[in-house]
């Protein structure tokens, strides 16, 4: 009897060990899965709606706080990378699947010295842009569903696009941190997209575009640039522009 019980215990231990290895693996496997899961879409559920206001109002004095706020929307542990952009895949907040989008219209902000909406061949970046995921669901406005997607192109971002796009849309590809507000019309399966967040360097001067969406669905855009020789933080006030999301969705 003791032999039978011992045999059963051995079998249970064996299958338990293999089950754990199947789903968890050794330390190396865990690391590999962490890397692969950086941009993995979570199909199991949708997030709760993030209520407005959403964003951060920056100033020269609060610049580092603002920078950390927006990085934290993407990375679960922003303090690890605040002083240096990530060189290896870093665990991010959950990513969810967008509904299928048949057509994209980029709403140009026309407030900065850089153009991330038009490619060198004259075609709009929307011709190449692919939007399949998001991190934050915002309240609906009119007939549109609102989403926010942010990213850092450290996972072969350019490989998602054709060679034509890569050779003609360098301004859109060279961004370091970027974020899109996606206004999705479910009846038409179309989306209006605004690039509302940038934290990047342009040959080689740093440039920042931050945002704050108030309870009235107004987008407050804040921009600043800095000569790289002066430093890596702004010394002059942010330029500001207010855009009505309601106006965009109704065409006014």
DSSP string, 33-101: HHHHTTT-EE-S--PPB-PSPEE----STTHHHHHHHHHHHHBTTGGGTTTS--SS---B--EEEPPP-
- CB atoms under 10 Å from CB of 16, counted, come to 10
Burial class (CB in 10 A: 0-12, 13-18, 19+), 85: middle
pTM of this prediction exceeds 0.85: no
Residue 69 is classified by DSSP as H
pLDDT score recorded for residue 171: 65
Contact indicator for 172, 125 with CB cutoff of 8 Å: yes
| Separation between Cα atoms, residue 72 and residue 86, nearest integer Å | 13
Q: Where are the domains of the chain?
A: 1-36, 41-250
pLDDT score recorded for residue 113: 58
Low-confidence ranges of the chain (pLDDT < 50): 2-6, 8-39, 84-86
Encoded tokens for 158: 């350019």
Coil vs helix vs strand at 173:
helix
pLDDT score recorded for residue 22: 29
| Separation between Cα atoms, residue 121 and residue 161, nearest integer Å | 15
Contact indicator for 189, 102 with CB cutoff of 8 Å: yes
Contacts of 211 (CB under 8 A, 6+ apart): 55, 179, 181, 196, 197, 219, 220, 221, 222
Strand runs (DSSP E) across 94-143, as ranges?
A: 95-97, 103-106, 133-134, 136-141
Coil vs helix vs strand at 78:
helix
Cis amide bond preceding 53, omega within 30: yes
Coil vs helix vs strand at 239:
strand
Encoded tokens for 61: 């004095």
pLDDT score recorded for residue 122: 82
pLDDT score recorded for residue 152: 76
pLDDT score recorded for residue 103: 92
């Amino acid at each position: 009897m003791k032999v039978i019980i011992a045999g059963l215990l051995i079998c249970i231990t064996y299958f338990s060990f293999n089950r754990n290895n199947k789903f968890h693996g050794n330390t190396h496997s865990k690391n590999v899965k962490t890397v692969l899961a950086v941009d993995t879409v979570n199909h199991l559920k949708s997030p709760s709606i993030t209520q407005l206001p959403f964003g951060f109002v920056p100033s020269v004095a609060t610049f580092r706080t603002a920078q950390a706020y927006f990085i934290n929307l993407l990375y679960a542990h922003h303090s690890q990378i605040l002083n240096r952009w990530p060189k290896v895949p870093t665990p991010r907040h959950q990513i969810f699947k967008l509904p299928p989008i048949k057509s994209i219209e980029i709403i140009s902000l026309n407030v900065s010295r850089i153009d991330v909406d038009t490619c060198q061949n004259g075609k709009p970046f929307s011709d190449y842009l692919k939007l399949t995921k998001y991190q934050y669901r915002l309240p609906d406005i009119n007939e549109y569903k609102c989403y926010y997607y942010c990213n850092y192109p450290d996972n072969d971002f350019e490989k998602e696009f054709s060679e034509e796009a890569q050779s003609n849309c360098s301004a859109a590809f060279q961004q370091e941190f970027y974020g899109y507000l996606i206004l999705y019309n479910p009846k038409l399966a179309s989306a209006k997209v605004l690039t509302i967040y940038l934290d990047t360097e342009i040959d080689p001067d740093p440039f920042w575009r931050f945002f704050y969406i108030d309870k009235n669905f107004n987008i407050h855009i804040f921009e600043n640039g800095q000569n790289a020789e002066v430093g890596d933080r702004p010394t002059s006030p942010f330029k500001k522009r207010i855009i009505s999301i309601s106006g965009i969705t109704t065409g006014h």
